[in-house]
Amino acid sequence: MQKLANKLAGWLKEQLTRTGAKGFVVGLSGGIDSSVTVALCRRACPDGTLGLIMPCYSNPNDQKDAELVSATLGVPAEVVVLDDVFELMVQKVTGRPYQNVRDIPVANIKARLRMITLYYYAARRQFLVAGTNNRSEIVMGYFTKYGDGGVDLLPIANLLKLQVRELARVLGIPEGIITKAPSAGLWAEQDDEKEMGVTYDELDCCILNGEGCDRVKQVVMDFSSKSVHKMQLPLMPPF
């Protein structure tokens, strides 16, 4: 895992050289994926890595965890509270106040507002936006198109969730963040595994070895087939 961390950091350095960018900006959610991503970026560019913490009707504990990661790794972080702009946007498009319940079209606005914020900070500093999606999420299409999927590069895109956990320990991520229940935090008490209908252990085993019960295989197949459009450029007519 130490060799993998160095290899990924080396790849990130290459991207800076290739693009002429001066560093990286990473959205810190308080979860393991963003923690590992910002740690890799810091290893690649110690003086040019910025974390952005963007609460948006979020669990306050997530901000505390993100701040813990920032302090532990020595990565500067800024907090941009998006509650007001999100509330206004929801009011404008739905005609009613925001309700913190499962409503995917509304919840995706959060992810897209965060994407806008990341690119503002990146453009100001000539940084690249480093995304935090792992291979397990990408296979399932478990991300928001033009939200957390709207990034310049994906350092951990080839790593399954189980590999991200292993890498996190090498990188010094606090244990409480490694073991916390994965959640995108798009509505109250959201739980990734309940939302997908499979655990990450089941998902990773299916992706890695093709193993799992028929239910798990069907869930993975359904999610993957419905999210193909997220992995493609916009469609154009062939003439």
62 belongs to the catalytic site? no
84 belongs to the catalytic site? no
In angstroms, the Cα distances linking 36 to 70, 166, 216 are: 11, 10, 27
> Cβ–Cβ contacts within 10 Å for residue 220, how many?
22
| 3-state percent breakdown (helix, strand, coil) of the chain, nearest 5 | 55, 10, 35
DSSP 44-105: H-TTSEEEEE--SS--HHHHHHHHHHHHHHT--EEE---HHHHHHHHHHHHSS----S--HH
Two structure tokens written together for 54: 């963007």
Q: Which of 62, 65, 137, 192 is catalytic?
A: 137
CA–CA dist 82, 190 (Å, integer): 19
Instruction: List residues bridging with 49 in a β-sheet.
Output: 24
Two structure tokens written together for 45: 């560019």
Angle between helices 161-170 and 200-209 (to 10 degrees): 110
| Residues noted as catalytic | 33, 137
